[in-house]
Amino acid sequence: MGYRVVEGSVVGVHFGYLAYVILGGFLVWRWPRAIWPHLLAVGWAAVIVAFPLTCPLTWAQDWARRRVGEPPLTKGFIDRYVEGVIYPARLTWLMQILVGVVVLGSWAGAWWWRRNRRDTGPKSTESSHRAATV
């Protein structure tokens, strides 16, 4: 029973990680320092997609499955739970591009928002006092 909870928890954490990779860049709009953990998460996701590595979360899920007598996963997490379930497998390339656009768009939006926020900030009290007395 306990290992099934572990397996289910790992699946939940995996979905949370994917959501963070896709949408975490929007946290940077509010908290600029959040860019660093998000860069790491996106970088790791890109490495996992580009190279035949086993994600530690997939390894943990396989470990829990073996403990309850189930066979290990024959596919990775995305291949099993996302691709063909949330979107058709033939559109994987399109989804990868879309995720990249969302991530880069969130970073570009954060940069733009921060830049404009600094430019439209309150004027110094000295210059506004000088303008009022002239």
Q: What does the pLDDT read at residue 126? A: 55
Q: Which tokens go with 52? A: 């035949």
126 torsion bin: left (phi>0), alpha (psi -120 to 50), beta (else): alpha
With bands split at pLDDT 50, 70 and 90, how would you rate the model's confidence at 130?
low
With bands split at pLDDT 50, 70 and 90, how would you rate the model's confidence at 113?
confident
pLDDT digits (tens, 9 = 90+) for 51-90: 988 899 999 999 999 999 998 888 888 888 899 899 999 9
Distance CA 86, CA 92 (A): 11
Q: Please list, in sequence order, all residues whose beta carbon lies within 8 angstroms of the beta carbon of residue 64, skipping any fewer than 6 positions away.
A: 3, 4, 6, 7, 10
Query: pLDDT above 70 covers what percent of the chain?
Result: 88
pLDDT digits (tens, 9 = 90+) for 87-112: 999 999 999 999 999 999 999 999 99
Q: Is the pTM of this model over 0.95?
A: no
| pLDDT greater than 70 at residue 49 | yes
Q: Residue 51 in 3-state DSSP?
A: coil
